[in-house]
Amino acid sequence: MTRRLCSIEEVNTITKSALIIIKSSESKSKETFEGLRIAMSMIGMDMMPKLLFCDEAVSFLWKDNKHRNDEKYAHYLETLAEMAGIKVLSTSLEDRHLLLCDLIESLNPQVISPSQASKLVSESDLILAV
Amino acid sequence: MSLLVVFGGPKKELRTLLTLLSEEYARGEKVKLVLVHQACRLASDKTPDQMLKDLNVETYAVEEDIKEQDLSPHLAEEVRVIDYDGWVKLLEESRKVLSWV
């Protein structure tokens, strides 16, 4: 059977909404950067992804996280926060005894409940967790 | 058609994943779970995660990863082993895919 690759235009008509879930810990920062890079690439292709931080990855949004001074990381996060918005799973914050005020204020993260997050998953055509 | 979830994370992340799928269950969506890499160990438990049982998730494990970790003798009855062709077939049958690795 011969298979044909889709063009970007075709992909855009198939994929209506994308959700990138960032869940890896700071020790796996490469994966997180990759997720942010994918999200940036999607914006470059006129596809606006939604971005959800959960589990260990909430530490990336912490004011004192060790990647804070990494220019590339800060640029990705700030751009994505401004263009796509950043959502954080409430239970992941609670599990780590973190509050909204512990997160980087300029990113304006939106805390959402598990049921709201579940709705995001349900509404998305493409979901990638890294 | 169903939702295909490819999971390769540690067990602790499975809880978050299943929580995020609750809306899909509420809509009556059939969820199929393919375990890859380290997550194949979840298929080796004598009693796989209770949440998987409760949600009646159809669970598959990739043969190559099972062999690599020598998990074959310990597989739970509920878990179906698939090769790459079987995985592709599942992909083709699915409405959408969630990749969690």
Inter-residue contact A89 to A117 (CB < 8 Å):
yes
The reply to whether A95 falls in a domain is: yes
Total number of domains constituting chain A: 1
Tens-place pLDDT, residues B67-96? 998 888 888 888 899 999 999 999 999 989
Cβ contact (<8 Å) for A127 and B12? no
The reply to whether A69 falls in a domain is: yes
Supply the DSSP string of B31-72, one letter for each residue.
Answer: EEEEE-GGGGHHHHSSS--HHHHHTT-EEEEEHHHHHHTT-G
- A33: containing domain: 16-129
> Is the model's pLDDT at B27 over the cut of 90?
no
> Is the model's pLDDT at B36 over the cut of 90?
yes
pLDDT mean over B20-45:
88
Question: What does the pLDDT read at residue A3?
Answer: 61
Question: What does the pLDDT read at residue B32?
Answer: 94
B8 φ, ψ to 5°?
A: -130, 15
Inter-residue contact A117 to A87 (CB < 8 Å):
yes
The reply to whether A41 falls in a domain is: yes
Cβ contact (<8 Å) for B101 and A23? no
For testing contact with chain B, the best of A16, A118, A123 (most B CBs within 10 A) = A118
Better pLDDT: B33 or B53: B33
Which CATH number is B2-100 given?
3.40.1260.10
Question: What does the pLDDT read at residue B43?
Answer: 83
The reply to whether A4 falls in a domain is: no
pTM of the model: 0.86
Beta A110-112 vs A50-53: how paired, if at all?
unpaired
Inter-residue contact A20 to A128 (CB < 8 Å):
yes
**Domain ranges (residues) in chain B:** 2-100
Question: What does the pLDDT read at residue A9?
Answer: 66
Q: Which residues of B touch A (CB under 8 A)?
A: 9, 12-13, 16-17, 19-24, 27, 96-101
Q: How many CB atoms lie within 10 A of CB A116?
A: 15
Strand order in the sheet with A50-53: A110-112, A86-89, A50-53, A18-22, A126-129, B94-100, B2-7, B31-35, B58-62, B80-82
Nearest Cα of chain B lies from the Cα of A24 at a distance, in angstroms, of 9
ipTM score above 0.95: no
- Helix H or strand E segment including B3: strand B2-7
Cβ contact (<8 Å) for A129 and B98? yes
Question: What does the pLDDT read at residue A72?
Answer: 84
Residue of B nearest to A32 (CA): B101
Could you list the mean pLDDT of each consecutive 10-residue stretch along chain A, which spans 130 residues? 63 74 86 92 91 95 83 90 96 95 95 96 93
Nearest Cα of chain B lies from the Cα of A118 at a distance, in angstroms, of 4
Measured CA to CA, the distance from residue A120 to residue B73 in angstroms comes to 39
CATH of the domain at A23: 3.40.1260.10
Inter-residue contact A53 to A12 (CB < 8 Å):
no
The reply to whether A112 falls in a domain is: yes
Q: How many CB atoms lie within 10 A of CB A113?
A: 11
Question: What does the pLDDT read at residue A117?
Answer: 96
